[in-house]
Structure 1
Amino acid sequence: MGKQELSLEIVEPEAFHDFMEVMSDYAPQVEHLVCQLGFGDTDAAQIDQLFRLLHSIKGDASMCQVRFVVPFVHALESLLERLRSGEVAYEDSIGDVMLLVMDRLGLALEALENHELLDDLQLPLLLHALNGTVESPVGELLQHCRQLVEQITGIPLHAMAPEAPVDAALLASRGDLAFFRLLAVQFEQRLPQFLGRTERNLALALEASRQAPGVVDDDQLEAAVYMHDIGMMLLPESFWLKNGRMSELERRQMAEHPGWAAGLLERMPAWAGAARMVAQHHEMPDGRGYPLGLRGAEICDGARILALVDAFEAVTLKHAHRGLRHSMMRAIAEINASERQFDPLWLARFNQVIRLRLAACARRPAGG
């Protein structure tokens, strides 16, 4: 199906705004119901409620002339109908497909609203693959769902070897690093949602770095992980978990926070590498980042890793109510749908790290 058939445009601005408003109500309801299915609540009433909700989204999209949404939601209805009829038993991959497709539609709606390019979202390819999945024979449906999830996230879900544990306590026991870690832990204790983020970010960063041994110094990267958000402590708390658009003044203030932490590290000669990582971790390969608008090779490898870790943590935190596995899937899918913001080589390595983590989640017993 060609792009023009999806009508990726705003036909009637006021109607589009109305649809965005109702989607802000619909999307959390879909998410809640799908997550309930994942938690074992697969009774007929739950599935019927989800089916009616999808039908309402499709109807409102058609009425508001947001036509590209209709075939995606219709396909999800068809997938749910196969579940509702008892043709196939629920598996997490079915819920993953539903959540990830809804997420991709949400990203597309936001991009249209902000007059941004939609090419990275690859909607025509996604629709083609979704229709193929929905129409697959009953014996192949679940496998097709798993393959579609892999296509959306960029993460193969085949069984993998267990992830290697990271002994962060030993790394943090050394002089300066212990001090940096103390600052990071003090910051995370300012909000309940932040608890544990220091160790999560450290583990992710080191695992990503070790996908290319010797490229990034582990000690410098560790220091950068601890210090990269310390400058946020000088901003109002309203900035820390802000959703939606920032004002121009807020953007200028936000752009200053990497420099504050980097400045502290620069005053310690042993940590010049970490200072550079912290200063650059919001830069982007295409020059659209901040604070300096650096491009490509001007951005150091440690900063490229830190950018991925920071984005992954932000999205998983925002969607933590989905449960660990679903929030990870949402985060890696969004990162891969925004690939121009990240270095492609490090994105591929980061995908491998998340692949291992998702495999580890799959091996855990239910409720574990």
Structure 2
Amino acid sequence: MDASTLSEPVATDQEALQEFIDILWEYAPTIERDVAHLRNHPTERAVVGNLFRTLHNIKGDAALCKVEVGVAIVHPMESVLVRVRNGELPFTDAIAETILLTVDRLELAVERLSSGQTLDGLQLQLLIEGLEKLAAAKPSRLDACVAEVIEAVTGSRPVAVPLPVMVGETKRGPGDGSRSQAADDLLFFLTLANQFEMRSPRFEGRTMRILRLALETNQMAGDPIDPVQLEAAIYMHDIGMMFLPESVWLRASALTAAEQRIMRAHPGHAAGLLSRMGGWSAAAEMVAQHHEMPDGKGYPGGLKGAGICPGAKVLAIVDAFEAVMLKHAERGRKRSLLRAIAEINACDQQFAPEWIEPFNQVIRRAADTR
């Protein structure tokens, strides 16, 4: 397949495509397990062989299901593993991260094909070209080649560390009301956020993780957003879900179209609460708009670009980042900062480009301090 055509969706048989997506979903935990084992025992040829066969099966299934992009992405990664299996290359953490990134990017590609979206922004051509260079690299150039392909695709150097959780009090200012009243309100909002987290073990610690990322991204950009209003929006943005049936918002599996319509009501509930409290109109606007998208395909108002307030744009990015990390955790995956930020950066139509770079800088700084 010509790599230059990878930005154009190729899905001639939607039923076959869905079959391949289901197959890929089943294979992913096996790949994760074998990669995790090889990180600790890199010389076990039998496990390398298992990993190679899994990727070979994925490529074969992609061919059978006429998912050409799957063949194009997996083939060069398979070639890398042939060299590892033959003892020509060592199995390193860098190769492990490349395998996981390749599988993640394949999942993103087929999901977009399934929904009729473009593959622009996934950098598939750069990925394939980089993997081809890696498959032909000398052992002495291995880590350098991996760093080149990962940075070309994601914009970040290879890292695989969890984000530190924010500890302690958040700095607070006077906001729109008095200093003491703002502090009391924030404490109340935080109490509600903690109640939300208690509804599921999946949510534990998410509020502080999102808060740290949002405040630091804002700070990286020069604090154009009122930090106190942003803090309130972080605490309250998902509280509206608690007014919806738990069978909908606590479900880990995919939602039906009807359930998705129900879910779209949650920003309005939370924003309505904030707007009825004095001094929190800016936070209410952020909450109401945090599922809007620059291309106008978000909800509830279908706002575009400049019509979305900056706080909502930041909240959308950090909330999605947390969701990606959760997705990997639920599938038994070791959390990887690189893979999560790669997915966020691939969704170029979903997030405000002016906030992606400050967010990336925060992530890089977090990685450099570990």
- The TM-score with structure 2 as length reference comes to 0.88
Q: How far off is 1:6 after superposition?
A: 9.1
After TM superposition, list the pairs within 5 Å mapping 1:223-302 onto structure 2: 223-240=232-249, 242=251, 245-302=254-311
Deviation at 1:191, TM superposition (A): 0.6
- The 1:309/1:165 distance shift into structure 2, 3 A limit, reads closer
Partner of residue 124, structure 2: 123
Superposed counterparts of 1:33-112, under 5 Å: 33-40=34-41, 42-112=43-113
User: Cα distance, 1:180 vs. partner?
Assistant: 0.6
Give the gaps of 5 or more residues in structure 1. Answer: 364-368
Residue 323 of structure 1 corresponds to 334
User: For the residues of structure 2 that align with 1:87 and 1:233, how far apart are their CA atoms?
Assistant: 55
Pair 1:301–1:81, CA change in 2 (3 A): same
Using the alignment, how far apart are the partners of 1:6 and 1:298 within structure 2? 29
Q: 1:188 to 1:39 in 2, by over 3 A?
A: farther
Task: Find the aligned partners of 2:252 and 2:188 in 1 and give their Cα distance.
Answer: 31
- The worse-fitting range, judged by mean Cα deviation, of 98-107 and 244-253 is 244-253
Say whether residues 1:357 and 2:366 are aligned partners: yes
SS in structure 2 of the partner of residue 121 of structure 1: coil
Q: Could you say if the C-alpha distance between residues 249 and 58 of structure 1 is closer, same or farther in structure 2, counting changes exceeding 3 Å?
A: closer
Using the TM superposition, give the Cα deviation of residue 126 of structure 1 relative to its aligned residue in structure 2, in angstroms. 2.1
Taking structure 1 as reference, are residues 87 and 357 closer, same or farther at Cα in structure 2, changes over 3 Å only? farther
Q: Which amino acid aligns with 2:349?
A: R
What SS does the corresponding residue of 1:201 show, helix, strand or coil?
A: helix
Post-superposition shift, 1:171? 3.9
Q: Is the 8 A contact 2:289 2:308 kept in 1?
A: yes
Question: What whole-Å deviation, never above 9, does each CA across 1:272-295 have from its counterpart, x for those lacking one?
Answer: 111111111111111111111111
Letter in 2 for 1:265: L
Deviation of 1:28 (Å): 2.2
Partners of 1:93 and 1:149 within 8 A in 2: no
Query: Residue type matched to 1:52 in 2?
Result: R
Distance 2:214 2:168 in 1: 12
Q: Write the distance in 1 (CA, Å) between the matches of 2:251 and 2:368.
A: 31
Cα 1:178–1:113 shift into 2, 3 Å: same
Tell me the residue number matched to 2:150.
Answer: 149
Structure 2 residue identity aligned to 1:169: E
CA contact 1:7–1:68 (8 Å) conserved in 2: no
**Deviation for aligned residue 1:235:** 1.6
SS of the counterpart of 2:255? coil
CA distance in 2, matches of 1:357, 1:81: 35
- Residues 241 and 147 (structure 1 numbering): CA distance in 2 closer, same or farther, change over 3 Å? farther
- What secondary structure does 1:215 align onto? coil
In the alignment, the residues of structure 2 paired with residue 292 and residue 212 of structure 1 have an alpha-carbon distance, to the nearest angstrom, of 26
Post-superposition shift, 1:213? Answer: 1.8
Distance 1:184 1:41, change over 3 A: farther
Deviation track 1:24-55 (CA, whole Å, cap 9, x = no partner) reads 22222112222332344652221111011111
Which residue of structure 1 aligns with residue 226 of structure 2? Answer: 217
- Secondary structure in structure 2 of the residue aligned to 1:58: helix
Change (3 A) 1:165 1:6: closer
Q: Decide which moves more: 264-273 or 232-241.
A: 232-241
In structure 2, the CA distance between the partners of 1:306 and 1:54, relative to structure 1 (3 Å rule), is same
Aligned-pair distance for 1:167?
A: 5.5
Structure 2 CA distance for partners of 1:261 and 1:90, relative to 1, 3 Å: same
Letter in 2 for 1:307: A
RMSD between aligned alpha carbons?
A: 2.5
Larger deviation: 278-287 or 166-175?
166-175
Residue range with higher mean Cα deviation, 266-275 or 124-133: 124-133
Match in the other structure for 1:195: 204
Residue 176 of structure 2 is matched in structure 1 by none
- Matching residue of 2:177: none
Q: Write the distance in 1 (CA, Å) between the matches of 2:360 and 2:7.
A: 29
- Separation (CA, whole Å) in 2 of partners of 1:16 and 1:203: 39
Measure the CA separation in 2 of the matches of 1:52 and 1:6: 28
Q: In the alignment, residue 333 of structure 2 is paired with which amino acid?
A: R
Aligned AA for 2:206?
R
Give the counterpart of 2:190 among 172, 181, 190.
181
- Amino acid corresponding to residue 70 of structure 1 in structure 2: V
Residues 178-203 of structure 1: CA distance to partner in whole angstroms, max 9, x if unpaired? 11111101110111111111111111
Determine helix, strand or coil for the equivalent of 1:117: coil
Question: Which segment drifts farther, 28-37 or 189-198?
Answer: 28-37
Report the identity percentage: 48
CA distance in 2, matches of 1:331, 1:156: 13
Contact 2:121 / 2:348 at 8 angstroms: preserved in 1? yes
Alignment of 1:303-342 (within 5 A): 303-320=312-329, 321-324=332-335, 326=336, 328-342=337-351
Structure 2 letter corresponding to 1:322: R
CA distance in 2, matches of 1:164, 1:108: 30
When normalised by structure 1's length, the TM-score is 0.89
Shift of 1:177: 0.8
